[in-house]
Amino acid sequence: MDARPVGVFDSGMGGLTVLHELLVTLPHEDFVYLGDGARLPYGPRPLPEIRRFAQEIGGWLETQGVKLIVVACNAATSAALPDLQSELGLPVVGVITPEAHAAVQSTRNRRIGLLATEATVTAGRYAALIGTLDAGVEVFQVACPALVPLIESDDPYGAATVDAVRGYAEPLQEAGVDTVILGCTHYPLIRPILQRVFGRGVTLVFSAEETAREVAETLARKGIENGATRDGTYRFLTTGDPATFRAMGARFLQLPIAEVEHVTIAELEAAA
């Protein structure tokens, strides 16, 4: 039995959709979630800057005694996963590989679409991973800069969101994709809108369940899982405003959020 917690981080609150699945899959594990609210969004930022942020957070989580880190952010996974895996002395799991696997298994016509932030599209890791799994698959990528602000707004299911989704979906529909990867942890919150726009003939892939399964398998393989009979705990931290995190975070986690602790950027930088 290894009672150390699992660390999870994201640029803000979108990664709470991944944490939800981790809590369901691994109810006996403890989790520490850090949202970098002071520096969100990551999506429009240059990849080297996102990589630096991820390295700071990864280093800080390691100093907190976590046993594994989940990069619950597509942009940070795209920019920094190999660096984190080589620099940190513990396992690091990202969200892109499980989605790439799921999409290749799902597609019937070998035409896969990707909706993601600008940074994730620019990094090209989805296309590269999918190409290693099936070189015959065509990947069509669309950056969606308007979606995260809309999802975090007071009216995430309003007409503006529907119009934005229709605009971003159009080139993928014209390309004839039968599978679309939701390449941002925010997007599952508007999955009903996305499914309505694309129709039932298109499979939407979001890998929270696959990511949670990979974490469970990694903990077991490394022999660092917790006792299966205990009830796990979860702890929340943010570099942004704790009250904002608490209020909006429940929408993403779909579970109550009580206390939220504050971490300064200086603390993260000192750990890098």
Active-site residue set: 73, 184
Give the closest residue to 34 by CA, choosing from 48, 4, 14, 51: 14
- Residue identified by tokens 């003939």 is 201
Q: Report in angstroms the alpha-carbon separations of 50 from 21, 36, 56, 207.
A: 25, 11, 10, 21
- DSSP string for residues in 16-72: HHHHHHHHHH-TTS-EEEEE-GGG---TTS-HHHHHHHHHHHHHHHHHTT-SEEEE-
Q: Is 130 left (phi over 0), alpha (psi -120 to 50) or beta?
A: alpha
In whole angstroms, give the CA distance from residue 139 to residue 150.
Answer: 25
Q: Which amino acid is residue 271, in one-letter code?
A: A
